[in-house]
Amino acid sequence: MLRKLVFIGLVCVTIAMQGFTQPPTNTQTPRDGAWDKMRHTEKRPIEYAPVREADVLWHKRVWREIDVREKMNQPLYFPPSPSGGMRNLMQVILDGIASGDITPYSIDTDDFTMPFKVDETIARAYQYRSEESRDSVMYYSLMKELQPSEPRTLQRPTPPYEEYDTVITIPFSTSEVYHFRIKEDWFFDAKRSVLEVRILGICPVRQNIDPITGIVRGTTPLFWIYYPDVRDIFVNAPVYNRQNDAQRMSYDDLFIRRFFSSNIYKASNVNDLRISEYITDEMEALLEGERIKEEIRNFEHDLWEY
3-state secondary structure of 193: coil
Q: Walk along the chain (306 residues) and give the pLDDT tens digit of each residue.
A: 666 666 676 666 666 565 545 555 556 677 777 766 666 567 889 999 999 999 999 999 999 999 999 999 999 999 988 887 889 999 999 888 888 888 999 888 999 999 876 444 444 333 333 333 333 333 343 434 455 566 667 677 778 778 767 666 666 778 889 999 999 999 999 999 999 999 999 999 988 777 667 778 788 888 899 999 999 999 999 999 888 888 889 999 999 999 999 999 999 999 999 999 999 999 999 999 999 999 999 998 888 765
Identify the pLDDT of residue 169.
61
> 49: which DSSP letter?
P
Residues 6+ apart with CB under 8 A from 280: none
β-strand partners of 204: 180
**Residue 102 near residue 93 (C-beta atoms within 8 A):** yes
pLDDT of residue 137: 34
Coil, helix or strand at residue 236 = coil
56, containing H or E segment: strand 56-67
- pLDDT value at position 273? 95
> What does the pLDDT read at residue 195?
94
